[in-house]
Structure 1
Amino acid sequence: MSRLFRDVGGGPRCPHGSVVCIGAFDGLHLGHQALVRHAVARARAMDLPAVGLTFEPLPREFFAADARPPRLLSTRARIERLLVLGLDQIGLLRFNRALTCLDAEAFVRRVLVQRLSAREVWVGPGFRFGKARGGDIEVLRRMGAELGFAAHEIAPVAVDGERVSSTRIREALQAGDFATAARLLGRPYAISGRVARGRQLGRTLGYPTANLRFAAGMVPALSGIYATWVHGVAGPGDERRAWPSVSSLGTRPTVDGTEPLLEAHLFDFDGDLYGHRIEVEFVARLRDELKFSDLPALTEQMHRDAAQARDLLSHDQRRAFA
């Protein structure tokens, strides 16, 4: 049986019971991790599968389709990180008009009881679900007492005296405060993906780049020019280590781009990365993305960006290929 399922309906996936946690899990920050780890620990203690329920698109994206809010983590990365945390199955439920019309009680009966045979359900603080957000922890507890499962709300996780949230992380990233973002996430902020072919304009300017594209409609949480480390690239002796780089994330206004693109220029790298999966870790923000009058002006600025990024990374504790 596949570890991933998409539909609300269908036959039982856990006929002997399960422990379920539910959330959007954008960013999979320390609060999300605490929720998932607790559900996994309970499942192991009860000798039951641990199931995570999340949504695609994210609910806030569905309700703001014309002005989607920034997303912290791609769908693939979210699934991969949830599996690493120990979940046995993941319900990546299609968040569509039909799901928004499903009231809280129907969701409990169809998904938690009929589909997953839930024995315990774990949610984060203030969790709401169902049509018009009519369901909450009290609805879960009331229906659980009726239908044979227990419902629990995990305590908030705080960092620097404030609750960890995806909103705090977005604000830190947009301010270029990667240290705070890393404390809230429990890891440095990074974007991963498979290197795609581009227009190869950077190569003609002396700055070849590894390009990562975004899923249609996904709005990245960052925009600008950054000092970065690229992970997943073989170095001397085929050793995979962090590679110093300067990266641009935006729509490339100087060349009339329209879709967001992450372009990472790896310093002193000579190789073919097309088709490889890499991860770009953000270290410091250098400047905003700008529209230049011509390509020579853009190239001059790229020289300055590269020099600044090299200097910043040379003082970072993860020096790569000195």
Structure 2
Amino acid sequence: MNRFFRDAVGGPLCPQGSVVCIGAFDGLHLGHRALVGRAVAHARALGVPAVALGFEPLPREFFARGEHPPRLMLPRAKLEGLHALGCDSVGLLRFDAKLASMPAQAFVRDVLVERLSAREVWVGPGFRFGNARGGDIALLQALGAEHGFVAHSIDPVHCSDGERVSSTRIRAALVEGDFAHAAKLLGRPYAIAGHVVHGRQLGRTLGYPTANLRYGGKAPALRGIYASWVHGVTDAPWPSVSSFGTRPTVDGIEPLLEAHLFDFEGDLYGRRIEVEFVARLRDEEKFPDLPSLVAQMHRDDAQARAILIQTQQRASA
């Protein structure tokens, strides 16, 4: 059963009971995976559905003033990832003024008890919930005793070198172009997936056709030019150079991920692909004219090819 829901209030979704894990789940890093894994294991032992409960937009996006804070993962990728980790149902609740003002006690009653019939609730370290973040694990446990469920908080997850895993640390690593560090915290290489959409086709006229992915109006955690692999074209990843940003030379506005697949011929429109970032080449910049831009694209192409060849050689050594 792969169920998806958005409403905080409504009829019961799990009348036989459930085990619920709650979090932002931005990136689905090793900490998130430990939390989900605990909930799924207990749900299987109890014979009830495992439910992952998150929010869209993210609360920090809702409360942000001005430019939205960067995020690691789009909602669809989060949904697919949570189902792949074993969650039977995923709720990405609409985080709006009504939900933001809901008292912690009402959230427990309306969502965890009436909507999900929770028997266990699992949260991460430092969990807060309810209006003005007034609820914590102690309140959740006290309310659980009243309503017939037990609440648990997992300990922070650390890497083998002792570093604590967090979405904040991953965002910082991506900004610095340290993809090996980001992968260590994520448990996998950082990548962005989506369906290829039509663009202005300027790249094609310049000799660099691209497969374009939109970022859903969200703020990406990285911007610039990158050596990359594209998955989903053939069985093997395809070498590429990717640009992620607003394309200042051509007065772009919306962040767009553009991947130029080396020596590729074919139509990818509508195909779902995944762009894996390998190395950061440079910042996005505005060029005085298109010939200057094309000259830099030639240099980016050569640099990305060299990096990806070295990456393959190290992997096969």
* CA deviation string 1:61-113 (max 9, x = no partner): 00005221101001000000000000000111000000011000000001111
- Residue correspondence of structure 1 range 102-121 to structure 2 within 5 A: 102-121=102-121
Describe the SS at the equivalent of 2:110: helix
Residue identity matched to 1:139: L
8 Å contact 1:242–1:318 — kept in the other structure? no
Partner residue in 2 for 1:50? 50
User: In the TM superposition, what is the alpha-carbon distance from 1:207 to its structure 2 partner?
Assistant: 0.5
Residue identity matched to 1:248: S
- Alpha-carbon distance between aligned partners in 2 of 1:201 and 1:319, rounded to the nearest angstrom: 35
Partner residue in 2 for 1:212? 213
Partner residue in 2 for 1:73? 73
User: In the TM superposition, what is the alpha-carbon distance from 1:52 to its structure 2 partner?
Assistant: 0.7
- Alpha-carbon distance between aligned partners in 2 of 1:183 and 1:2, rounded to the nearest angstrom: 29
- Alpha-carbon distance between aligned partners in 1 of 2:240 and 2:81, rounded to the nearest angstrom: 25
- Alpha-carbon distance between aligned partners in 1 of 2:2 and 2:43, rounded to the nearest angstrom: 19
Partner residue in 1 for 2:163? 162
8 Å contact 2:2–2:87 — kept in the other structure? no
Residue identity matched to 2:241: V
- Residue correspondence of structure 1 range 25-40 to structure 2 within 5 A: 25-40=25-40
Describe the SS at the equivalent of 1:52: strand
Describe the SS at the equivalent of 1:309: helix
- Alpha-carbon distance between aligned partners in 2 of 1:37 and 1:272, rounded to the nearest angstrom: 39
- Residue correspondence of structure 1 range 1-40 to structure 2 within 5 A: 3-40=3-40
Q: Which runs of 4+ in 1 moved over 3 A?
A: none
8 Å contact 2:100–2:130 — kept in the other structure? yes
Partner residue in 1 for 2:246? 251
* CA deviation string 1:234-267 (max 9, x = no partner): 2xxxxx2100000001100001111111110000
8 Å contact 2:2–2:88 — kept in the other structure? no
Partner residue in 2 for 1:237? none
Partner residue in 2 for 1:140? 140
- Alpha-carbon distance between aligned partners in 2 of 1:317 and 1:59, rounded to the nearest angstrom: 40
8 Å contact 2:5–2:93 — kept in the other structure? yes
- Alpha-carbon distance between aligned partners in 1 of 2:129 and 2:157, rounded to the nearest angstrom: 21
8 Å contact 1:193–1:278 — kept in the other structure? yes
- Alpha-carbon distance between aligned partners in 2 of 1:180 and 1:142, rounded to the nearest angstrom: 39
8 Å contact 2:50–2:88 — kept in the other structure? yes
Partner residue in 1 for 2:194? 193
8 Å contact 1:7–1:94 — kept in the other structure? yes
Describe the SS at the equivalent of 1:233: coil
Describe the SS at the equivalent of 1:207: coil
- Alpha-carbon distance between aligned partners in 1 of 2:196 and 2:229, rounded to the nearest angstrom: 15
Q: Which ranges of structure 2 fall in alignment gaps of 5 or more residues? A: none
* CA deviation string 1:256-308 (max 9, x = no partner): 11111111000010000001000000000000001001000000000000000
Scaled by the length of structure 2, the TM-score of the pair is 0.97
- Alpha-carbon distance between aligned partners in 1 of 2:163 and 2:229, rounded to the nearest angstrom: 29
- Alpha-carbon distance between aligned partners in 1 of 2:213 and 2:54, rounded to the nearest angstrom: 24
8 Å contact 2:173–2:182 — kept in the other structure? yes
How much is the aligned-residue C-alpha RMSD, in angstroms? 1.3
User: In the TM superposition, what is the alpha-carbon distance from 1:162 to its structure 2 partner?
Assistant: 2.2
8 Å contact 1:313–1:319 — kept in the other structure? no
* CA deviation string 1:87-142 (max 9, x = no partner): 00011100000001100000000111111111100000000000000011001110
User: In the TM superposition, what is the alpha-carbon distance from 1:317 to its structure 2 partner?
Assistant: 2.8
Residue identity matched to 1:257: G
- Alpha-carbon distance between aligned partners in 1 of 2:73 and 2:142, rounded to the nearest angstrom: 34
* CA deviation string 1:147-189 (max 9, x = no partner): 1100000111012322100000000000000000000000000
Aligned length: 314
Describe the SS at the equivalent of 2:277: strand
Partner residue in 2 for 1:177? 178
- The match for 2:303 among 297, 308, 312 is 308
8 Å contact 1:50–1:88 — kept in the other structure? yes
Of the structure 1 ranges 1-10 and 52-61, higher mean CA displacement relative to structure 2 is found in 1-10
User: In the TM superposition, what is the alpha-carbon distance from 1:319 to its structure 2 partner?
Assistant: 9.5
Do structure 1's residue 91 and structure 2's residue 86 form an aligned pair?
A: no
8 Å contact 1:224–1:287 — kept in the other structure? yes
